[in-house]
Amino acid sequence: MDYRIEHDSMGEVRVPSDRLWAAQTQRSHENFEIGVGVETMPMEIVHAFGVLKKAAAITNNKLRPEKMTDRKLEAIKAACDEVMSGQLNDHFPLVVWQTGSGTQSNMNTNEVIANRGNQILGEKLLHPNDDVNMSQSSNDTFPTAMHIAAILSLENKLIPAANTLIETFKRLEQENEGIVKSGRTHLQDATPITFTQEISGWRSSLERDVELIKRSLEPLYELALGGTAVGTGLNAPKGFGETVAAEVAAITGKPFVTAVNKFHALTSKDELVFAHGAIKALACDMMKIANDVRWLASGPRDGLGEIFIPENEPGSSIMPGKVNPTQCEAVTMVAVQVMGNDVAVGMAASQGNFELNVFMPVCIYNFLQSSRLLAEAIMSFNKNCAVGIKANKEKMHHNLHNSLMLVTALNPYIGYENAAKTAKKAFKDNISLKEACVELGFLTAERFDEVFHPEQMV
């Protein structure tokens, strides 16, 4: 491999010739061999850095045109556009497990944009610190990238995924109107419901989760940019925070604003904790829905068997013909991962020491993993399972009329205790509720037929 010599304040460093990063990135790459190639900084953060560096250059050009000249600006903007589009992803090798402020990822971005901008210009005009990082610090850029990435992930991926599944459930509700089945509580038989009512519970849960996620967005629109090193705004021109937030909003189409208190913005991650709590709520409901689906589809002969789900692949290497609810299993595993990530996000957010949080990379790594995995799991579950759910009407009818909890309909006529005796006798003697009720002398056969209508119990 060919190398070139780059330097920083600590001296010279060898850097691969075909890479756009420079000395500080290379030092980090060599000093933190932890999860290399596996747990690299999320590309959502890299792309968010492209957004904020472009916004910062535009703002500096407005407020400090003598330093951020039009020529420098155009080169930085062009390089940032390539970062934002993903064209330069291969030039961001750093791992999550680095400095807790994300300084090295900020410098990775500065170096790549400076070197790529210089390539575009055909001369060495841009400096990573003096130009690309002008009016900024790692301490305000990294939390800004965190908020930008979080917003884009939630609004562009997770919420649309949940809404897609909501629409599928709405269709299933319409298609299954009028089907009555046995309800279940404590995994035991309960009084009847309609299949549409059951599906509506799934749909409503997701709608509430989307509402909760949307409520968590507003605090995330506040950006730390402008606080620089400790929140005072040292070395940033007056009005930088407000102007750069407006530029970020213009680039992303999202209503970003400058944080009211930069000391809070640099050290507290409560906005991400709050938003991840909403993500976890969605994961909890997806766990419940996926479990309901696989229970209802269990069988095909020895389980509940009340619904059919798509058969996507063989389920066993030894049992021919076996098909498993694999999409449900994938969703539930993702839900477990999200719940675990919630602990990591919360713990990381608690590590704001004085004027800076120093667990930011691990915080946003887990946050973005949760959002990304859950969005993809929901879309996979929708495409490969939910859209193909079909009611097994015959099995639902059989289970409904075989349920002892239909006896609840007799409470107004024979009383709770007599109804309990009826149910227990029916179960013990393996006879119908009607037979048990008549044998016990609580109702005549004719009167039983008059009052006993399971389909009206919903």
Instruction: Catalytic residue, from 316, 371, 397, 401: name it.
Output: 316
Whole-Å CA distances, 151 to 147, 223, 231, 451: 6, 11, 22, 56
Pairing of strands 257-258, 356-357: unpaired
Neighbours of 316 (CB within 10 A): 10
Pairing of strands 352-353, 356-357: antiparallel
**Peptide bond preceding 300 in cis form (omega within 30 of 0):** yes
| Dihedral Cα 111, 117, 123, 129, nearest 10 deg | -40
Residues 6+ apart with CB under 8 A from 2: 16, 17, 18
Output the six-digit token pair for 89: 């992803």
**Structure-token match 């900084």, residue found:** 41
Output the six-digit token pair for 255: 């209503």
The verdict on whether 85 is a catalytic residue reads no
- Alpha helix positions (H), 354-415: 360-384, 393-401, 411-414
351 three-state secondary structure = coil
Instruction: Catalytic residue, from 9, 17, 186, 317: name it.
Output: 186
The verdict on whether 147 is a catalytic residue reads no
Contact 443, 413 (CB under 8 A): yes
Burial class (CB in 10 A: 0-12, 13-18, 19+), 265: buried
Neighbours of 313 (CB within 10 A): 8
DSSP 155: I
DSSP-assigned states of every residue in 249-280:
HHHHTS--EE-S-HHHHHH--HHHHHHHHHHH
Residues with catalytic annotation? 186, 316
